[in-house]
Structure 1
Amino acid sequence: MTHCAIDFGTSNSAVALPARAFRPVGSGAATPPADGAGVPAGGVVRLVPLEGQAVTLPTAVFFDADNNRIDYGRAAVASYIDGIDGRLMRSMKSILGSDLIERTTDIGGGRGIPYIGVIATFLRHLKAKAEAAAGKPLTQVVLGRPAFFVDDDPERDIAAQTALAAAARSVGFKEVAFQFEPIAAAFDHESRLDHEQLVLVADIGGGTSDFSLVRVGPERAKRLDRRDDILGHHGVHVAGTDFDRRVALASVLRPLGHGSVGPDGKPVPSGVYFDLATWHLINTLYTPRRIADLAGTKHLYADRAQHARLMRVLEDQLGHGLLGIAEDTKIAVAAGGSTRVDLSLIERELALDFDEAGLVQAVDDEIARIVGAATETARLAGVGTDEIDAVYFTGGSTGLRLLTERIRAGFPKAQAVTGDRFASVAVGLGIHAGRLFGG
């Protein structure tokens, strides 16, 4: 076996190998994930551990200018949060199809690298992890691609795929093929069918919510070219990070003064709280000038304890940790119920309660936009909502019960099918790689 499959995602990435390609345990290779960890379709493929035993890796690269080192995934994010001098790159997939692809970006220490080189750097890391697991060089790859890299611009869409293929070849892949991500996501479902179905694939991740209307079935599964099976595609740039932001504003930032009023009855300035709820803006709050400016707003707070907590978060650089607590809070109530949110990192015994009703109120507008995109996908394809046989859910944010229920309600006759939220695309790409390259 000399092939692998790579799901190069906007938020997270994963790599699949044929199940029998893993080196035996004890031979120096990383132990493959246990059965059930992203191993559908008869276990013909398995996911490669990319960071410890984690089979998904945040799509992030940090160029450490101080130590002339490159960090990946969670380590990259940690280096950025720790304030190490350098450059963090996330959501690199969005560069494809843009005019940035040929430009150079500063990575610190007076050095620069083309944006396409950043993508190649990340692909090289994924390839090395896959080769370590397989114990041999890998020269063939199937890469996932969205239904459209760029909407309504076929030339730029082709240019995006061409650039990604060139990046893959530059790191040593001699044969590069592509499969549409929504088709790949539905492969596991397709493998269990004995008849044709019209399926709405709902891929709701960290940055975008994408919907594709596809035809699947045992006869169609025999075809390598599945372009004609995609009847429609639509999406919105609303997803998990937007939920986290809204939950942070509705919960963990309240004890710091968000939504409160001053002695004059006027709301306290909200800008600092929106920055604290936005991952890439948090570090901008830690500059001496910004801290000094915010320290001078104490008189605007009727509850001075709230201002004191705000300043403690800024001075001790607790913002990213606080946003992580907000994400954990969302996950804790995503399937219903309530949770007690521990904020003792700010103040001893500080805590608050948060429940599903609070979550609904916080993210209702975002959910409405996502549900609207789902039904719009069917409309654009000229298909009635009652003609759809199944809705296939994948992506990390599909763990939010109220979101999936509202999407399902828009397609009254459709069966709800839940795939692996984090791995179904990678596994489907691995299945396609086996069909294409053998094994």
Structure 2
Amino acid sequence: MFAGFDYGSANCALALCEKGEVSMLPIGERGGHYLMSVVYALDVSFIAEAVVQRLGGDAGRELAKARSAELARARRMRLELDLSPGDDTVFIGEAALNAYLDTPEEGFFVRSPKSFLGASGLRPEQVALFEDIVTLMMLEVKARGEACINAGKLSRAVIGRPVNFQGSGGEEANQQAETILRTAAMRAGFDTVEFLFEPLAAAFDFEASLETDKRVLVVDVGGGTTDCSLVNMGPNRRATLERDGDCLGHSGQRIGGNDLDIALAMETLMPHYGLGSELNTGKPMPRQPFWQAVAINDVGAQREFLSLSYTTLLKELMKDAKAPEALQRLVKLRRDQQHFQLVKAAELAKIGLSERELVQVTHPDGSDTEVSEAAFSQSISPLMQRIEELMRAAVAEDVLPDVIYVTGGSSRCPAVASRIASVYPAVPVVQGDHFGSVTSGLARRAELLFAGAGTGTGTGTGTGTD
């Protein structure tokens, strides 16, 4: 069987399509359609161990040879932690988030692993780790999906990918990320994998509702990236397999909901930890240490935040600070590894501000900060400027869209929606399914590719790899 697979920065989702009817599979907790893209392990070595165990057979034995050092460490850690063979050591989705919140100072926690796949300068062992993380998540999603349909295995999939995984790194970064995804998907048991730009997937889902042909600008504000595509769409095109000629422009960068959360945490929550205070010299406290604390989707920033040199820097800043007690809170935040918690609090504030003008944010230390919708708008303004530029980059000067189709979880925020609508004020804006459009479009594409329902020739995968 075949499926549309959205391996998202915020959530994973799986959908089937039969004769144009899409069914989202309930792979999430409590029958929901979305599994959070979060992994927690009591030790990082347990991730490789879990993948090898779940693969089993020849595939498991082959990977075990490549991960011998990690497996040896896992055996030592089981003894050190006094764990029995049946004890859980790795958690995915909501269970991972809860395990992290219970003991944030222990274990290995990663949120939105997709955000790291195109990072520059990844060492071979880091690439291997992300391959294992993605493989483990895909194994889990695939197993949950197959349990839902109870009709054999899912062997073919169309997987979504952003136009650009990173803001820098170019096609080399894209190829690195796509290779990790493909390797993981094959290890997880998919025989055939095709990739499709996420905004095109959203566009194909929107196309199913169109009664006349239109030129559509799709703006997908996802968890890790914002992607824009200008596409000719309509009933006269939807059954055609080859769509390269309908795709008039693409743009994308790693600016997503995670970045909005980080910006909000930086500007409104980091003052509690000393941002904006002064040194005894009268100079402002440097911003970089606070940015490294909240930039949880930046490999380099997180490496620096957890380094010995960061500890030394904090000690020096505390000697020179007019308000050292605020920096002491940053010391505790780092020591207890509660920076993920802080950004999660900012995410919840962002969601709350979609309905209210003022929300209360509780810090990991129990203190409260009031955050207003105006403060959120100001915090994300530089990011929204870049999103506006992406929209214009996808649209030629002499070819305006007939309609703007907006999707992605963060597009629900009034501060985001209003800025998107302001770019082409004369063009109507349609709000799509904020979370399901991409998955549904991937499933529709899977039916065209794998069920032979389409006409025309070519792959038309829209990955930019041809």
TM-score range, shorter chain: 0.7 to 0.9
- SS at the partner of 1:357? helix
Q: Could you tell me which of 152, 155, 158 is aligned with 1:137?
A: 152
User: For residues 194-205 of structure 1, what are the structure 2 equivalents within 5 Å?
Assistant: 194-205=211-222
CA distance in structure 1 between the partners assigned to 2:347 and 2:111 by the alignment: 21
Distance 1:152 1:145, change over 3 A: farther
Q: Who is 1:428 aligned against?
A: 441
Whether 1:125 and 2:103 are equivalent positions in the alignment is no
CA distance in structure 1 between the partners assigned to 2:250 and 2:353 by the alignment: 30
Q: Could you tell me which of 249, 253, 264 is aligned with 1:236?
A: 253
CA distance in structure 1 between the partners assigned to 2:120 and 2:315 by the alignment: 41
Q: Who is 1:414 aligned against?
A: 427
Deviation for aligned residue 1:367 = 0.8
User: For residues 332-343 of structure 1, what are the structure 2 equivalents within 5 Å?
Assistant: 332-334=352-354, 337-343=357-363
CA distance in structure 2 between the partners assigned to 1:286 and 1:158 by the alignment: 29
Q: Could you tell me which of 268, 293, 312 is aligned with 1:251?
A: 268
Whether 1:91 and 2:110 are equivalent positions in the alignment is no
**Are the aligned partners of 1:181 and 1:425 in contact in 2 as well (CA < 8 Å)?**
yes
Identity %, equivalent residues? 28
**Are the aligned partners of 1:394 and 1:419 in contact in 2 as well (CA < 8 Å)?**
yes
- SS at the partner of 2:269? coil
**Are the aligned partners of 2:16 and 2:25 in contact in 1 as well (CA < 8 Å)?**
yes
Q: Who is 1:31 aligned against?
A: none
- SS at the partner of 2:125? strand
Whether 1:395 and 2:408 are equivalent positions in the alignment is yes
**Are the aligned partners of 2:164 and 2:170 in contact in 1 as well (CA < 8 Å)?**
no
Deviation for aligned residue 1:225 = 2.8
Q: Who is 2:11 aligned against?
A: 12
Moved more, 222-231 or 67-76: 67-76
Structure 1 stretches lacking a partner, 5+ long: 21-40, 107-111
The residue type paired with residue 339 of structure 1 is V
CA distance in structure 2 between the partners assigned to 1:311 and 1:158 by the alignment: 38
Deviations 1:95-139 (A, max 9, x none): 479997xx8526xxxxx9486565444322221111111113224
Whether 1:372 and 2:393 are equivalent positions in the alignment is no
Q: Could you tell me which of 341, 346, 360 is aligned with 1:326?
A: 346
CA distance in structure 1 between the partners assigned to 2:406 and 2:173 by the alignment: 28
CA distance in structure 2 between the partners assigned to 1:311 and 1:147 by the alignment: 36
**Are the aligned partners of 1:47 and 1:427 in contact in 2 as well (CA < 8 Å)?**
no
**Are the aligned partners of 1:5 and 1:433 in contact in 2 as well (CA < 8 Å)?**
yes
Deviation for aligned residue 1:45 = 1.3
Q: Could you tell me which of 204, 208, 217 is aligned with 2:234?
A: 217
Whether 1:82 and 2:114 are equivalent positions in the alignment is no
Deviation for aligned residue 1:353 = 2.3
The residue type paired with residue 130 of structure 1 is G
Deviation for aligned residue 1:232 = 0.7
- SS at the partner of 1:238? coil
The residue type paired with residue 240 of structure 1 is G
**Are the aligned partners of 1:215 and 1:231 in contact in 2 as well (CA < 8 Å)?**
yes
CA distance in structure 1 between the partners assigned to 2:117 and 2:353 by the alignment: 34
CA distance in structure 2 between the partners assigned to 1:249 and 1:218 by the alignment: 46
Distance 1:131 1:272, change over 3 A: same
CA distance in structure 1 between the partners assigned to 2:26 and 2:252 by the alignment: 29
Q: Could you tell me which of 3, 12, 24 is aligned with 1:46?
A: 24
Distance 1:299 1:154, change over 3 A: closer
The residue type paired with residue 407 of structure 1 is I
Moved more, 70-79 or 242-251: 70-79
Normalising by structure 1, we get a TM-score of 0.77
- SS at the partner of 1:133? helix
Distance 1:328 1:434, change over 3 A: same
Distance 1:366 1:6, change over 3 A: same
CA distance in structure 2 between the partners assigned to 1:360 and 1:160 by the alignment: 31
CA distance in structure 1 between the partners assigned to 2:109 and 2:337 by the alignment: 19
**Are the aligned partners of 1:96 and 1:163 in contact in 2 as well (CA < 8 Å)?**
no
- SS at the partner of 1:249? helix
CA distance in structure 2 between the partners assigned to 1:165 and 1:360 by the alignment: 37
Aligned residues: 403
**Are the aligned partners of 1:202 and 1:391 in contact in 2 as well (CA < 8 Å)?**
yes
CA distance in structure 1 between the partners assigned to 2:288 and 2:202 by the alignment: 39
**Are the aligned partners of 1:331 and 1:400 in contact in 2 as well (CA < 8 Å)?**
yes
Normalising by structure 2, we get a TM-score of 0.73
Moved more, 288-297 or 312-321: 288-297
**Are the aligned partners of 2:162 and 2:252 in contact in 1 as well (CA < 8 Å)?**
no
Deviations 1:258-315 (A, max 9, x none): 1011344222343332222222656865678855763564343333542443344344
Q: Could you tell me which of 104, 109, 125 is aligned with 1:105?
A: 125
Distance 1:90 1:403, change over 3 A: closer
CA distance in structure 1 between the partners assigned to 2:245 and 2:438 by the alignment: 19
Moved more, 148-157 or 279-288: 148-157
**Are the aligned partners of 1:18 and 1:45 in contact in 2 as well (CA < 8 Å)?**
yes
Deviation for aligned residue 1:213 = 0.6
Whether 1:185 and 2:202 are equivalent positions in the alignment is yes
The residue type paired with residue 374 of structure 1 is M
**Are the aligned partners of 2:142 and 2:154 in contact in 1 as well (CA < 8 Å)?**
no
The residue type paired with residue 271 of structure 2 is R
CA distance in structure 2 between the partners assigned to 1:153 and 1:3 by the alignment: 31
User: For residues 310-321 of structure 1, what are the structure 2 equivalents within 5 Å?
Assistant: 310-321=330-341
Deviation for aligned residue 1:170 = 4.2
Structure 2 stretches lacking a partner, 5+ long: 47-73, 79-87, 454-466
CA distance in structure 2 between the partners assigned to 1:133 and 1:339 by the alignment: 38
Whether 1:346 and 2:365 are equivalent positions in the alignment is yes
Distance 1:96 1:122, change over 3 A: farther
The residue type paired with residue 399 of structure 1 is R
